[in-house]
Structure 1
Amino acid sequence: MSCGTIYYATLDNHYVIKFVGEVRLTLCSALDTHLEKVLASDKCSYVLVDLTQATCLDSTTLGLIAKLAIRAQHCALPKPILVSTHEDITRTLLSMGFDQIFVLLDTLPDTLYELQQIPMVQESVEETQRRIIHAHKLLMSLNDSNYEAFNSLVSVLERK
């Protein structure tokens, strides 16, 4: 299993986040911490999520990506753009209702940005578990199918 990486860039209040490779729950603390910081700032007017180089996104990562869209909506930002060029990832996004919270594109807009890797975050197992539960609850809130798919997992994680 290859380790994924997450990059970001900001330019003129445009925020871009790029997922590369297999992005799994091992990066959830760094991702969630980074997204909280970005969304707390008033320097973000538009959001673009680039999945063109992602090969695998686990459900925790998908939950945190959904969180980005939901929080952007609460901040009265335009609907974020999500770009996916991989058929299997796009199919997963559609089945989970991401087309309701993102503008889905299959090509990357012509944009110049310099990417930086998001910093890693070390935290306790309990805090990581809290983030995983929260990410899955966000996915569950998108549609009934997601609720059914993740309800038992969340119940088990909450009992631990």
Structure 2
Amino acid sequence: MNQGSIHYALLDNHYVIKFTGEVRLTQCSSLGAHIEKVISSDECEHVLVDVTEATCLDSTTLGLIAKLAVRAKNRGLPAPMVVSTHDDVTRTLLSMGFDQIFVFLDVLPLTQYELIQVPLIQESAEQMQQRIIKAHKVLMSLNDSNYEAFNSLIAALEEK
């Protein structure tokens, strides 16, 4: 397994978040808290998600990325951009309905940015479960296919 990482930069009101390798559930507490902090900031006016070096984004990660776009829209920000150059990752994003909430690019903008790793946050099992539920509910709201795919998972998690 290629342990993934998440890095970000916030320069001149442009927020860039970059995913590398396999980004999975274990990093979602950190990702969720980070997204909330940045998107709530008045400093963030444009969002770019870079998945050019990602090899796998699990469904919780996808739900949190979708949440970023939804929160940006709710703040009245321009539609976030996502840069994806791997066919498998792009297909996954499109199948989840990301083309409804993101502008897709197949090359990175020329702007150079310095990236900082998102700090690791440990959450309780209950907090993690709530984050998983919320992330999947965002995915479910994007289209009927996602609703069908994740409805039973959410029902099972909410019963616990």
- Normalised to the residue count of structure 1, the TM-score between the two structures is 0.99
Q: Would you say how many aligned residue pairs link Structure 1 and Structure 2?
A: 160
In 1, Cα distance between equivalents of 2:112 and 2:4: 22
In 2, Cα distance between equivalents of 1:32 and 1:142: 18
Aligned to 2:157: 157
In 2, Cα distance between equivalents of 1:96 and 1:56: 14
The sequence identity of aligned pairs, in percent, is 71
Aligned to 2:136: 136
Q: How does 1:66-77 map to 2 (within 5 A)?
A: 66-77=66-77
Unaligned runs of 5+ in 2: none
Aligned to 2:87: 87
Unaligned runs of 5+ in 1: none
CA-CA distance at 1:137 after TM superposition: 0.4
Aligned to 1:51: 51
Residues 110-132 of structure 1 show CA distances to partners (whole Å, capped at 9, x for unaligned) of: 11110000000011011001000
CA-CA distance at 1:3 after TM superposition: 1.3
Aligned to 2:10: 10
Aligned to 2:30: 30
Aligned to 1:113: 113
Structure 2 counterpart of 1:66, one-letter code: A
In 2, Cα distance between equivalents of 1:114 and 1:45: 18
In 1, Cα distance between equivalents of 2:111 and 2:82: 14
Residues 26-68 of structure 1 show CA distances to partners (whole Å, capped at 9, x for unaligned) of: 0000000000000111000100000000000000000000000
